[in-house]
């Protein structure tokens, strides 16, 4: 077997398990994945089985630098639509599917970007800890592909083929592995749902790699119990007085007014809508892994707290932590709200099991907060596609607010929306409609921190320079959304007075 050094020098992509290697071309990653699955998964320790008696461990980190990212790929996980890969960013800890791998790395890179108003150029503020992606590209300290001049970002599907930027996705599209409509008789009476599985207890496909975990590691429990780091900073206010502020490690308030200004300055945007500015972007803390469901619940709670909306009395003080949210969901099950969720998950208290719309629904209903759930899915003949139905529903949601002040950006007082799809969840905070007819969601993604470029703009009211690169981490375009054939959203019921009144300017 050739040495790692010679492989790097020749540019070959190597199998992490044997001497097999391929030249980097359009089909190299597909061939390498096929070899890996055919040659190393029959009796491989990387194979994932839903066996509660003997759940296999995650694969160890290999020593080869060229094959490191790909070696973390495990066998296709129970028809999830892709191969699981551990994010190579040392502070991340998430297990993601190969279909999202390049997007995930791009968003990590975007969280380091700032914008120099003097030169009009973007800069990365730290060298990335990420190793080579399956495509063989390096993320070192260079700018992400979406900021390179005349360069369209390259994506990989779950077969390793390069995805061209187009409206339709050619590979097998991925559906929800778990939906509230599968067991909640009060969600939507007119929806056709599949019969429950023969065994009600769910496994890794629905609950993630820690589906059979009894207790999370002590270090992680202690980290979550202690909460995010809080620092006190002093700054000079606009009136010249000294202002003392608390800065929470993983919370960034005040982003929505900035996004609204950046959308207004982007010449490609015909019209845009944004939710209540009280919504805070809340992200994960270092190495915590996949708690996205809880982080999105926190973002909806931040709106409830900031807007003093229905149920705000249930959330006094700071944003409730993950451990408290787990307790609240368990108490909701005790109240017979979506109680089948306890049997499906085996309980979530002090575990890293993935949660989704059913648990968010349970929590808000247990707090007597009105909310509704809607499912979007591809029609049988594909005359209706899930992502198009989702975008239209979100547009209708915002237009009900009648927040038209003559600007192309409509700033409403509506709540943010919880969005669930296969393997991940986001918080929808807005929608952009472009002059070319395309639309994209504006989202807060709990997996990624706020970039220095956005931090530099917080509190500013009269931006004059367009910075489309800073909007990229918040945009989810149609050619990204088209990869999934079902979506589920949870919407808090807004105060009726907010729908009939024209929204005041918030930017």
Least confident segment among 65-74, 280-289, 372-381: 65-74
State the average pLDDT over residues 425-448: 96
Q: Is the pLDDT higher at 138 or at 241?
A: 241
Confidence of residue 498 (pLDDT cuts 50, 70, 90): low
Whole-model pTM: value is 0.75
In the prediction, which pLDDT does 383 show? 85
CB atoms under 10 Å from CB of 133, counted, come to 22
Q: What angle do CA 160, 103, 140 make, to 5 degrees?
A: 95
Confidence of residue 388 (pLDDT cuts 50, 70, 90): very high
Q: pLDDT (tens digit, 9 = 90+) per residue, 139-158? A: 334 555 555 443 333 333 43
CB 264, CB 380: distance < 8 Å: no
Q: How far is CA 358 from CA 315, 339, 340, 363, in A?
A: 20, 10, 10, 9
Provide DSSP, 443-485: EE-TTSPPPHHHHTTTT-----S--HHHHGGGEEEHHHHTTBS
Residue 187, pLDDT above cutoff 50: yes
In the prediction, which pLDDT does 487 show? 96
Residue 220, pLDDT above cutoff 60: yes
What is the rounded distance in angstroms from the CA atom of residue 242 to the CA atom of residue 104? 39
Pick the closest to residue 204 from 76, 117, 315, 322 (CA basis): 76
- Sequence-ordered list of residues with C-beta below 8 angstroms from that of 465, at least 6 positions apart, any chain: 115, 117, 120, 265
In the prediction, which pLDDT does 21 show? 64
The secondary element (H helix, E strand) that includes residue 487 is strand 486-492
Q: pLDDT (tens digit, 9 = 90+) per residue, 16-72? A: 666 566 555 555 565 566 566 555 554 444 343 444 433 334 333 333 333 343 334
What is the rounded distance in angstroms from the CA atom of residue 473 to the CA atom of residue 277? 18
State the average pLDDT over residues 441-459: 92
**Cα dihedral 462, 464, 465, 466 sign:** positive
User: What value does the mean pLDDT of the chain take?
Assistant: 76
What is the rounded distance in angstroms from the CA atom of residue 207 to the CA atom of residue 423? 9
In the prediction, which pLDDT does 35 show? 60
Burial of 248 (0-12, 13-18, 19+ CB in 10 A): middle
- Two tokens, residue 358: 């059913």
CB 172, CB 97: distance < 8 Å: no
- Two tokens, residue 440: 């994209």
State the average pLDDT over residues 468-473: 90
State the average pLDDT over residues 163-175: 55
Residue 5, pLDDT above cutoff 60: no
In the prediction, which pLDDT does 96 show? 73
Q: pLDDT (tens digit, 9 = 90+) per residue, 69-111? A: 333 433 344 444 445 677 877 777 777 777 777 777 777 777 7
State the average pLDDT over residues 354-373: 96
Give percent above pLDDT 70 in the chain: 66
81 φψ region: left (φ > 0), alpha (ψ -120 to 50), beta (else)? left
CB 373, CB 490: distance < 8 Å: yes
What is the rounded distance in angstroms from the CA atom of residue 217 to the CA atom of residue 219? 6
Least confident segment among 126-140, 184-198, 414-428: 126-140
Q: pLDDT (tens digit, 9 = 90+) per residue, 403-430? A: 677 789 999 999 999 999 988 999 999 9
114: β partners: 123
CB 325, CB 294: distance < 8 Å: yes
In the prediction, which pLDDT does 40 show? 58
Q: What share of the chain is helix, strand, coil (3-state, %, to 5)?
A: 30, 20, 55
All structural domains of the chain, each given as residue ranges with its CATH number in brackets, are 4-163 (no CATH), 180-500 (3.90.70.130)
* Residue for token pair 């970039």: 451
In the prediction, which pLDDT does 307 show? 95
What is the rounded distance in angstroms from the CA atom of residue 162 to the CA atom of residue 264? 33
CB atoms under 10 Å from CB of 27, counted, come to 15
State the average pLDDT over residues 269-291: 93
Inter-axis angle of helices 322-334 and 218-226, to 10 degrees?
100
Integer-rounded Cα radius of gyration of the chain: 23
In the prediction, which pLDDT does 25 show? 56
In the prediction, which pLDDT does 454 show? 92
Q: Is the pLDDT higher at 181 or at 408?
A: 408
In the prediction, which pLDDT does 70 show? 37
- Two tokens, residue 419: 């969005």
What is the rounded distance in angstroms from the CA atom of residue 28 to the CA atom of residue 67? 13
What is the rounded distance in angstroms from the CA atom of residue 79 to the CA atom of residue 40? 19
What is the rounded distance in angstroms from the CA atom of residue 427 to the CA atom of residue 56? 32
Tell me the three state secondary structure of residue 63: coil
Residue 274, pLDDT above cutoff 70: yes
What is the rounded distance in angstroms from the CA atom of residue 428 to the CA atom of residue 418? 6
Tell me the three state secondary structure of residue 264: helix
Least confident segment among 124-138, 272-286, 436-450: 124-138
The secondary element (H helix, E strand) that includes residue 237 is none
């Amino acid at each position: 077997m050739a040495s790692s050094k010679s492989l790097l020098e020749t540019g070959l992509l190597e199998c992490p398990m044997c001497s097999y290697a391929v030249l980097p071309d359009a089909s190299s990653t597909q061939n390498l994945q096929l070899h890996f699955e055919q040659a190393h998964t029959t009796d491989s320790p990387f194979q994932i089985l839903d066996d509660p008696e003997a759940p296999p461990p995650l694969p160890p980190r290999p020593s080869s630098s060229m094959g490191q990212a790909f070696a973390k790929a495990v066998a296709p996980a129970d028809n999830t639509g892709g191969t699981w890969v551990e994010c190579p960013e040392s502070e991340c800890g998430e297990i993601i599917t190969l279909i999202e791998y390049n997007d995930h790395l791009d968003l990590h890179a975007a969280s380091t970007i700032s914008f120099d108003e003097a030169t009009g150029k973007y800069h990365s503020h730290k060298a990335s800890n990420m190793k080579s992606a399956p495509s063989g590209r390096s993320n070192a300290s260079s700018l992400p592909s979406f900021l390179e001049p005349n360069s369209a970002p390259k994506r990989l599907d779950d077969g390793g083929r390069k995805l061209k930027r187009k409206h339709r996705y050619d590979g097998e599209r991925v559906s929800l592995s778990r939906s509230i409509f599968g067991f909640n008789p009060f969600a939507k009476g007119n929806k056709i749902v599949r019969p429950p599985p023969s065994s009600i207890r769910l496994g890794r496909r629905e609950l993630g790699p820690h589906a059979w975990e009894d207790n999370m590691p002590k270090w992680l429990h202690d980290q979550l119990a202690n909460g995010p780091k809080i620092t006190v900073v002093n700054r000079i206010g606009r009136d010249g007085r000294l202002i003392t502020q608390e800065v929470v490690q993983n919370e960034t308030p005040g982003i929505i007014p900035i996004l609204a200004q950046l959308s207004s300055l982007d010449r490609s945007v015909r019209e845009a809508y944004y939710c209540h500015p009280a919504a805070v972007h809340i992200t994960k803390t270092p190495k915590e892994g996949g708690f996205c469901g809880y982080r999105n619940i926190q973002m909806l709670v931040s709106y409830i707290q900031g807007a003093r909306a229905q149920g705000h009395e249930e959330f006094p003080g700071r944003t409730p932590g993950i451990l408290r949210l787990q307790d609240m969901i368990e108490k909701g099950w005790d109240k017979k709200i979506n109680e089948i969720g306890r049997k499906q998950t085996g309980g979530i208290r002090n575990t890293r099991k993935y949660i989704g719309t059913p648990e968010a629904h349970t929590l808000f209903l247990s707090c007597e907060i009105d909310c509704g759930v809607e499912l979007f899915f591809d029609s049988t003949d594909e005359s209706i596609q899930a992502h198009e139905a989702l975008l239209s529903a979100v547009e209708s949601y915002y237009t009900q607010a009648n927040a038209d002040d003559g600007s192309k950006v409509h700033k409403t007082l509506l709540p943010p929306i919880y969005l669930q799809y296969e393997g991940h969840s986001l918080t929808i905070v807005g929608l952009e409609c472009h002059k070319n007819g395309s639309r994209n969601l504006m989202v807060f993604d709990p997996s990624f921190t706020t970039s220095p470029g956005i931090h530099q703009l917080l509190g500013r009211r009269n931006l004059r320079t367009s910075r489309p690169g800073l909007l990229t981490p918040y945009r989810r375009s149609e050619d990204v959304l088209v990869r999934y054939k079902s979506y589920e959203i949870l919407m808090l019921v807004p105060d009726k007075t907010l729908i009939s009144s024209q929204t005041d300017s918030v930017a």
